[in-house]
Amino acid sequence: MKTLSRRGPEKSKNLRGLQNRLRRLRRSEVEYLVKFLGSSSALSSLLKVDRSSVSRWERGTFEPRGTERIDALLLVLNKLSRVYMPEVASQWLEGINTYVGNQRPIDLIRRGRFSEVMAALEQADTLAYA
């Protein structure tokens, strides 16, 4: 007859606690993105996901596909907020940018081309200190 080790239920409890903390963290990240972008619809449009996906994220339920895009968008917005003031950051996202081939960074984000937007932000940041 098999018996459970003493640490079995404790490990399971710790894992559930970690999962709950990660869900709360993700929810706060989604709340930040919705606030930054102005609406849940704007976030769903930007990440090219159904509005229902964003609703689930706001409740703390995540799919693997969505979390990667959330991470990438958070990385871009974090860098953007360090390079530009909020009102300028919005203009930078919506404006034509020579660093990304005369395209709008927001359009590249919609197409999942986060690395190109990050490279443009790095160039803008470097020039700010030149």
Q: Residue ranges of the domains in the chain? A: 7-128
Max mean pLDDT among 34-38, 85-89, 113-117, 123-127 falls in 113-117
Neighbours of 97 (CB within 10 A): 22
- The pTM for the full model equals 0.72
Are the C-beta atoms of residues 120 and 97 closer than 8 Å to each other? yes
H and E: helices and strands count for the chain: 7, 0
| pLDDT for res 129 | 61
Q: How confident is the model at residue 80 (pLDDT cuts 50, 70, 90)?
A: very high
- Of the candidates 94, 41, 39, 44, the one whose C-alpha atom is nearest the C-alpha of residue 65 is 44
Largest CA distance in the chain: 72
Looking at residue 17, what is its pLDDT? 78
